[in-house]
Chain A
Amino acid sequence: MSEDTHRDKKRLENPPATIKFKIQRREKEGAPACWETFELKYRRNLNVISVLMEIRKSPVTTAGKQTTPPVWDMSCLEQVCGICTMVIDGTVRQSCSALIDDLLLASGSDTVTLAPMSKFPNVRDLKVDRSRMFEHLKQVEAWIELDGSYNLGPGPPISNETAQERYAYSRCMTCGCCLEACPQYDGDQYIGPQAIAQARLFNMHPTGKMDMDERLNGLLGEDGITNCGNAQNCVQVCPMSIPLTKAIYETNRDVTVNALFGWLKQ
């Protein structure tokens, strides 16, 4: 491989002979957490998933203790299903796209630390239960109301510009990075950026707009949009680069307009 093809990307030049993986373990929800460390021979092109697969085959810690295989969630491995999200070296992200070389390069160490997301019930080891995020989508009625799914011809014309703007929101895979990083989100008392951005996605659609009031209503309660503290962590950790703060700003504006002028509609 020539130098030139990789000039834009820093490469790990002197990899360590072995890499250590410090993994948070928990038998089940409510049980105490502990840490176990595993060691693996270094080779190129590893990601966190391939390391976990390797450890799962014969889980023995660096202390020589035969232990249970770490449990984690994985599915698409292309960072599009969102299921394999965890906290890697202190940052919440998908484990499939976390390349070991990049992690070692960033930390300057030979150790990678894996922990489950902290804001959700911890089912076991690295596996969490994010079902409440799907409940949030119900709360903001994140769908288009159809008369029926039979043939009624095409939808309304939409400019490509609007389509592209909506597309950015529509890439949200409900992974929960935004909630994990949000200082306001704790114990599910705030609906969070994900659901607000999905409300925005449908409020921008010509048909969806017709039900904007119902959607905004879902954001007016105690767990609603006013909880946002504008820390802007969400937009920094979003793996899909969704303009979450823009969605919050614009939706907040809609909420205000509705509150001021809503009575006129009655």
Chain B
Amino acid sequence: MSSKSLKFAIVGGGLAGLAAAMKLAEAGHEVDLISVVPVKRSHSVCAQGGINGAVNTKGEGDSPAKHLDDTVYGGDFLANQAPVKRMTDMAPEIIYLFDRMGVPFSRTKEGLLDFRRFGGTLYNRTAFSGASTGQQLLYALDEQVRKWEVAGKVKKYEGWEMLSLVLDEHQVCRGLIAMDLQSLELKSFAADAVIMATGGPGLIFGKSTNSMTCTGSAVSACYQQGARYANGEFIQVHPTSIPGEDKLRLMSESARGEGGRVWVPKTDRDERNPRDIPENERWYFLEEKYPAYGNLVPRDIATREIFQVCIEGHGVAGENQVYLDLTHIPAETLTRKLGAILEIYEMFVGDDPRQVPMRIFPGVHYSMGGLWVDFEQRTNIPGLFAAGECDYSIHGANRLGANSLVSCVYGGFVAAPSAIDYAKNVERGNTETNGIHDIELNRQQQINESIINSEGGENQYKLHEELGKVMTDNVTVVRYNDRLQATDDKIRELQERLKKISINDSNLWATQAIPHARQFANMLELARVITLGALNRNESRGAHYKPEFPDRDDENFLKTTIAEYSAEAPVLSYAPVDVSIVEPRKRDYSSGKKPPQVPRDGYEDKPKNRAETMPLNPENKEEFEEAKDK
């Protein structure tokens, strides 16, 4: 058994997928890596600001326990605390590993890693590589996985899209079906276990900060085959994005981390050049309301404040925009620390943020919700694992800046040994020859045929625009129950109309019409999960805000929303949240300091013990087994 090489399929080649692939290959196993784009072009490249880990190199007394507290507090106590603890304990070593892989992190005079401050914390805890940290971390893993590709352990299927899981008669995952996006050929991939690492579903909102590959389609397929989807209603709307025709481009939180100030003119529709408006005629509304955190309040709060200011008509030029101002910082400093993101603004807007305050507005950015997983990244379907943004596990009701990169890598590093452990003990039986793969493949082929033959005149791209608009209007920053109900009605209308589309491409070679029609059908299912999850959560918590229920209601809603698919509507249930380490307390960033952490009995803020934290060497079985039990 021990020498048997196991076979895994990973869907998605961003940070989480590549992290898992590296661990599996290193342990001697074989990986099929399926990705809609060449993995080096995955959405992780878009992460700008940095990666959190309490390395405490600035003599501030930072610790993984404080990182844990910031994370669960920032997430409004909706995250299970055990996996958050494991992640924050592992975080410094994840950063060190990337350092060894050659990521060009910014460094101190001594040549050590430099750290900066990000939202929702008072510590310099964020390692960064210019302002394109996600790109740099992704490339480091891409390089390591390429090495394993050369060694024959990893086989990439780039330009392939997963369509569905192959489940046996006991609902055990035995592999998946994917489609070659050029030839539309379908192929079944047999695997001892499958790891989903497909990222977020931003395209459900039409325009978002996500890449065009972030449809959530594969995850929705899993959901429709019985995987639970958790906390779908928690969608982070990033406070600072640059509105555009094709997408919303992110302006990183690091712009505020490096001293960027958010303001509007005190006089509405002040026509003057922003630089001619004197200091006392500017309203720095975040600094005024939140003296301790100022412009670095957590994202959900910054978003609502900016949104509110604009709704009340105080936006710049009366429009949905506020200034994000860096012009008081020396241009040279800005170029060195934020060069890449300032280039983005310059490139897409045409103004130089070193000279002119940027105009920004909130944009859909990240899904805290995702596939339900246990503390070992296992979904409820045996043999199916999930990691990264597509799982729900770490961020609760709101994600802190620079916690996504670390959670992606953590998820991959936990999912891989967990999947190995599972695969070692599962019997393969005759699942590769008993026809279940063929049956599923035929089912998927028929879906393609039905789309090709569909005639009814509806336009799939126009339907997608309608979905994006209704979701953005009603299921983002401020939510009302009547509008949520109306949104669900609209989604069901779109589902009916999707049955009547006519694809407008007669050339099926490399066509985008069929993949898009399939993705869009899956998006609609997830849109219902998000909308009905929001409708049924009658409280305000983290990114989920209802004026009708403005307070957090721990008694009724300190619970994970769990959606299970049924053809009628998602079936919602609620599961308790693990709050075993930090007692929930009111989240308040307005006064001098956040309320102190109240650790549970027996929990010490002590330096961590390596054996219980690190991505372990799976070849070292004793250490691995011992640590796993903790």
- Which residues of A are in contact with B by a Cβ distance under 8 Å? 1-2, 4-6, 8-9, 11, 27-28, 45-47, 49-50, 53, 56-59, 68-69, 71, 73-83, 96-97, 99, 123-124, 127, 130-131, 134, 137-138, 141-146, 148-155, 157-160, 163-164, 166-167, 170-171, 173-174, 201-202, 205, 207-208
Q: Which of B108, B135, B356, B511 contacts A80 (CB 8 A)?
A: B135
A138 with B347, Cβ < 8 A, contacts A80-B135, A149-B97 known: no
Between A and B, 12 residue pairs with Cβ closer than 8 Å are A27-B507, A28-B509, A47-B244, A50-B245, A77-B211, A99-B350, A143-B146, A146-B144, A150-B614, A159-B107, A159-B111, A174-B40
Q: CA A53 – CA B505 in complex, angstroms?
A: 14
- B45 touching A158, Cβ below 8 Å: no
Distance (Å) between the CB of A151 and the closest chain B CB?
A: 4
Distance (Å) between the CB of A153 and the closest chain B CB?
A: 6
A69 with B135, Cβ < 8 A, contacts A81-B45, A159-B111, A160-B109 known: no
Q: Which of A141, A144, A171 contacts B101 (CB 8 A)?
A: A144
Q: List the A side residues contacting B262 at CB < 8 Å.
A: none
Does more than half of chain A's interface fall in helix, strand or loop, or is it mixed? loop
Cβ of B297 under 8 Å from chain A:
no
- A143 touching B104, Cβ below 8 Å: no
Distance (Å) between the CB of A159 and the closest chain B CB?
A: 5
- B112 touching A157, Cβ below 8 Å: yes
Q: Which residue of B lies closest to A9 (CB)?
A: B350
Q: List the A side residues contacting B45 at CB < 8 Å.
A: 76, 80-81, 173
- A142 touching B144, Cβ below 8 Å: no
- A83 touching B507, Cβ below 8 Å: no
A158 with B504, Cβ < 8 A, contacts A2-B273, A173-B135, A207-B100 known: no
- B100 touching A154, Cβ below 8 Å: yes
Considering the complex of A and B, which 8 residue pairs feature the smallest CB-CB distances, nearest first? A157-B111, A143-B143, A155-B99, A151-B614, A50-B245, A167-B104, A150-B617, A81-B41
Q: List the B side residues contacting A5 at CB < 8 Å.
A: 273-274, 351, 356
Q: CA A6 – CA B350 in complex, angstroms?
A: 8
- Which segment, of B246-254, B298-306, B437-445, B586-594, faces chain A? B246-254
A151 with B93, Cβ < 8 A, contacts A2-B273, A77-B211, A157-B112 known: yes
Distance (Å) between the CB of A80 and the closest chain B CB?
A: 5
Q: CA A59 – CA B461 in complex, angstroms?
A: 12
A131 with B107, Cβ < 8 A, contacts A47-B245, A77-B211 known: no
Q: Which of A82, A123, A164 contacts B104 (CB 8 A)?
A: A164
A78 with B46, Cβ < 8 A, contacts A138-B150, A149-B97 known: yes
Q: Which residue of B lies closest to A25 (CB)?
A: B507
Q: CA A78 – CA B93 in complex, angstroms?
A: 30
Cβ of B616 under 8 Å from chain A:
yes
Q: Which of B33-52 contact A (CB under 8 A)?
A: 37-38, 40-43, 45-46
Q: Which residue of B lies closest to A123 (CB)?
A: B510
Cβ of B136 under 8 Å from chain A:
yes
Q: Which of A50, A75, A130 contacts B211 (CB 8 A)?
A: A75
Cβ of B597 under 8 Å from chain A:
no
On chain B, which size bracket covers the interface?
Answer: 35 or more
Q: Which of B282-338 contact A (CB under 8 A)?
A: 317, 336
Q: Which residue of A lies closest to B243 (CB)?
A: A45
- A4 touching B273, Cβ below 8 Å: yes
Q: CA A146 – CA B129 in complex, angstroms?
A: 20
Q: List the A side residues contacting B606 at CB < 8 Å.
A: none
Distance (Å) between the CB of B618 and the closest chain A CB?
A: 9
**Interface 1/0 per residue, B120-153 and A, CB below 8 Å:** 0000000001101001100100011011011000
Q: List the B side residues contacting A152 at CB < 8 Å.
A: 96, 100
Extra contacts besides A27-B509, A56-B512, A155-B96 (12): CB < 8 Å: A59-B504, A78-B249, A80-B45, A83-B38, A146-B144, A149-B144, A150-B617, A150-B620, A154-B99, A160-B109, A170-B136, A173-B40
- A151 touching B104, Cβ below 8 Å: no
- B512 touching A71, Cβ below 8 Å: yes
Cβ of B630 under 8 Å from chain A:
no
- A75 touching B347, Cβ below 8 Å: no
Cβ of B458 under 8 Å from chain A:
no
- A47 touching B136, Cβ below 8 Å: no
Q: Which of A134, A159, A170 contacts B40 (CB 8 A)?
A: A134
Distance (Å) between the CB of B498 and the closest chain A CB?
A: 16
Q: List the A side residues contacting B211 at CB < 8 Å.
A: 75-77, 81
Q: CA A46 – CA B620 in complex, angstroms?
A: 56
A96 with B104, Cβ < 8 A, contacts A76-B43, A124-B510 known: no
Q: CA A84 – CA B96 in complex, angstroms?
A: 33
Q: Which of A8, A127, A146, A160 contacts B108 (CB 8 A)?
A: A160
Q: CA A157 – CA B211 in complex, angstroms?
A: 35
Q: Which of A78, A138, A151 contacts B344 (CB 8 A)?
A: A78
Cβ of B420 under 8 Å from chain A:
no
A166 with B245, Cβ < 8 A, contacts A59-B504, A76-B43, A124-B510 known: no
